[in-house]
Amino acid sequence: MQLTKEQKEEIVIQLASWLPPKEIEKEYGISQASIYYYCNKYQIPKYRENMSIQKKDYTQHWLGFLQDITTLQIDKVKEILNDNK
């Protein structure tokens, strides 16, 4: 299938941050050089950069979630201890 320039741009805009360039090239026939060109042209985060950002964001949310659970458990223990006085 021959893609138009607009189709290539749209594919890169939608997928470059979420799929490795090799996968995009394999699936859609867009060269890695073209992918990087469009990423630079439209200031789209490249795959590795985006995955690093996503991992950092996920880790922060996960740590916050764990802290919330820990706080709830500590509060439960305090409640139990206060009820036993």
- The structure tokens 């439960």 sit at 76
pLDDT tens across 39-75, in order?
999 999 999 999 999 999 999 999 999 999 999 999 9
Distance of CA 18 to the CA centre of its chain: 7
CB neighbourhood size of 77 (10 A): 10
pTM: predicted TM-score of the whole model, two decimal places: 0.75
| Paired tokens of 29 | 């026939």
SS3 content of the chain, % helix, strand, coil (to 5): 80, 0, 20
Mean pLDDT of all residues in 5-20: 97
